[in-house]
Each structure stands twice: as structure tokens, then as C-alpha cells.
């Protein structure tokens, strides 16, 4: 994540809390589709609180990095309606690739898995954010934009609006929208697919605001009307402990490094390959899970959810800490 404009944060907080309260009430009353688990929702809210505190404490790194990049910019584009709009579109494009890397490179997945760890899908899921600081967003979106000449205020503004957009797409209450909206923008339907563990949905729909990037780069998958959606991660996390939720991805990665022994070339390959990659060739990446699902479908067999769900993804030391 990138630091956001403080004023937008102050405005957004009561709006977000009110929206969550309304959704929770409507789900409980059966007025809308959705599921809520009090412990799961509390964990997501705690993850958001921790994320805000850590990002605020480390904001000097982001702002310092952006200020340093501004000294090396190729041009000063200034602040105008044109640069605001083009800056937002560029931010969304860069976010697409950042998000895609977050799923296709295990080092970045170790951070991003936090957001996907809930087995529920409601507005609180949007708040389940990592505790690893703002450096990933700075690297992928902030510095490139500043180097290209966009003022820091536009970068921060684009990041703020982009983050705000993410809230409403984390819900089961909104079905498919008009075709032209679904064709251009990321909608709740698109993002439900992104959060699903159904094998046919894995690693798809990375867009933040515009779904056109997924359509252009071959990662778009539509939501099937007759398919029950399962949320979370393939190796489910069976704890609500915020510390485990925050760091189990890195805990699992370093546990694999330990099992590899003193083989830095294996560590490097694990870090840059997709989750599930193994140096012995016994991969359990999303590619293998999709291939297995397609083979079962071709053979006329129903996909067995239990065969795709492995052991708890947290390493043993973290499981003990959660008990």
C-alpha cells in the first residue's frame, strides 16, 4: 500500500464503518446475500488497524522515496484535470501488474496472502490488509509515476481514490451489473472470482478499478451463475490470530528455505516462482490445480474440493503460537 491523503482517510473511516454496519445488519435480517462471522470480521478490522499504524509509522519511507524520485523525474507534468485522469489510469495499470506479481511471485504472495486469508467475503474483507509496510506499493506504483513526471500529490490522490474503490467490490450483496459496466470496470462479480479458491477461478481478475487490463492480458475469468463460490486460500488458515494472519505467508516461505538447507539458489527460485513451486519438481501451483480440474471435468468427474485443500498453511511454530 501507499500512504493516502489524510483528509480522505478522515472522511472515509466513518463511511466505511457505517457501510459495514449496514451490510452486517442486512445480512443478519436476510435482506441481502452474504455471510458474516464475528471473529473473522474482528480479525479483518484488527488487520486494518495494524496496517494503518504500521504504514503511518513508516510513512517517512514512502514520502522520502517519492521526494527522492522527484529529483530524478524526466519532466514535471504539473497538476491538471488531464494529469489527474491519466495519473489515475496509469496507477491502475501499474497496480494491475503489482497485483499480478502478488499472486505469481511467492515473495510478494507472502505479503498479499493476508488479504485473501478470510473464508468470508464481505466489506470487512477489504480491510484485511498486510502488516509489512508501504514498500511494495512504493516500488511498483509510486516511484515509477513520479519518475515519469506526475506530482507526488497526484500519486497520493490516485492511491487514496483507488483504495476507496476497493471497498464496495468486496461484497456478495451486489450481483452482476449492466453489461457495459462489467465490460469496463472491476465489479463485485469480477472480484468475487478473484477471491475464490475454485480451481477454475485461481489467479484471475487482478484489476483494481478497470477490468480492461485483465481482458487485454488474458487473466479475465467471468463469474459462473451456476457455480458455488468458495473463498479464502487453497491451504486455509484455521486461526483468527492477527499475528499469524499477518505473517504466516513469510513464516511458510522461510520454513521452506530451512527445509531446503543451505541452497540459496533454491531460495531465490522459491521467492520468484509462483506459490506452490518446489525445487524437486513436485509443484502444487495454481497451474497444476487448474490442469487437474480440467482433467476431471473432461473425464466427467465432479471436482472434489477436499482434494484441493491441503493442510493449514501456517508453519507449525505459528500454529502453536495461535493456540
Q: pTM (2 decimals)?
A: 0.89
Say if residues 108 and 136 touch (Cβ distance below 8 Å): yes
Determine what percent of the chain is predicted with pLDDT higher than 70: 89
Q: Among 8-12, 106-110, 116-120, 247-251, whose mean pLDDT is lowest?
A: 8-12
Look up the domain containing 19 and give its range.
1-323
Among residues 204, 212, 160, 161, the alpha carbon closest in space to that of 186 is found at 212
Q: CA 25 to CA 122: how far, in whole Å?
A: 12
Give the pLDDT confidence of 6-39 residue by residue, as tens digits. 555 556 788 899 999 999 999 999 999 999 999 9
Give the CA angle between residues 299, 301, 305 to the nearest 5°. 135
Q: How many domains does the chain have?
A: 1
Intra-chain end-to-end CA distance of the chain, in Å: 30
Amino acid at each position: 500500500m501507499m500512504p493516502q491523503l489524510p483528509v480522505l482517510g478522515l472522511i472515509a473511516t466513518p463511511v466505511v464503518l457505517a457501510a459495514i454496519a449496514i451490510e452486517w445488519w442486512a445480512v443478519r435480517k436476510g435482506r441481502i446475500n452474504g455471510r458474516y462471522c464475528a471473529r473473522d470480521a474482528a480479525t479483518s478490522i484488527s488487520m486494518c488497524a495494524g496496517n494503518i499504524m504500521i504504514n503511518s509509522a513508516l510513512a517517512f519511507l514512502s514520502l522520502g522515496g517519492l521526494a527522492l524520485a522527484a529529483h530524478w523525474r524526466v519532466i514535471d507534468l504539473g497538476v491538471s484535470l488531464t494529469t489527474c485522469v491519466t495519473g489515475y489510469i496509469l496507477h491502475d495499470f501499474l497496480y494491475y501488474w503489482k497485483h499480478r506479481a502478488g499472486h505469481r511471485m511467492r515473495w510478494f504472495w507472502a505479503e498479499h496472502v493476508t488479504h485473501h486469508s478470510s473464508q468470508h467475503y464481505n466489506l470487512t474483507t477489504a480491510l484485511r490488509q498486510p502488516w509489512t509496510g508501504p514498500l511494495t506499493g512504493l516500488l511498483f506504483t509510486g516511484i515509477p509515476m513520479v519518475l515519469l513526471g506526475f506530482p507526488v500529490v497526484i500519486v497520493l490522490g490516485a492511491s487514496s481514490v483507488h483504495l476507496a474503490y476497493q471497498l464496495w467490490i468486496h461484497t456478495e450483496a451486489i450481483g452482476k451489473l449492466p453489461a457495459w459496466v462489467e465490460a469496463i470496470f472491476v465489479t463485485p462479480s469480477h472480484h468475487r472470482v478473484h477471491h475464490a479458491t475454485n480451481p477454475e477461478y485461481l489467479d484471475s481478475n487482478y484489476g483494481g478499478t478497470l477490468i480492461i487490463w485483465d481482458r487485454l492480458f488474458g487473466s479475465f475469468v467471468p463469474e459462473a451463475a451456476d457455480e458455488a463460490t468458495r473463498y479464502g486460500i487453497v491451504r486455509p488458515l484455521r486461526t483468527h490470530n492477527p499475528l499469524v494472519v499477518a505473517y504466516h505467508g513469510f513464516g511458510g516461505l522461510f520454513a521452506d528455505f530451512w527445509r531446503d538447507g543451505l541452497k540459496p539458489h533454491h531460495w531465490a527460485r522459491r521467492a520468484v516462482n509462483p506459490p506452490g513451486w518446489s525445487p524437486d519438481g513436485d509443484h502444487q501451483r495454481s497451474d497444476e490445480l487448474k490442469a487437474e480440474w480440467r482433467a476431471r471435468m473432461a473425464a466427467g468427474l465432479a471436482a472434489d474440493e477436499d482434494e484441493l485443500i491441503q493442510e493449514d498453511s501456517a508453519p507449525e511454530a505459528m500454529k502453536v503460537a495461535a493456540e
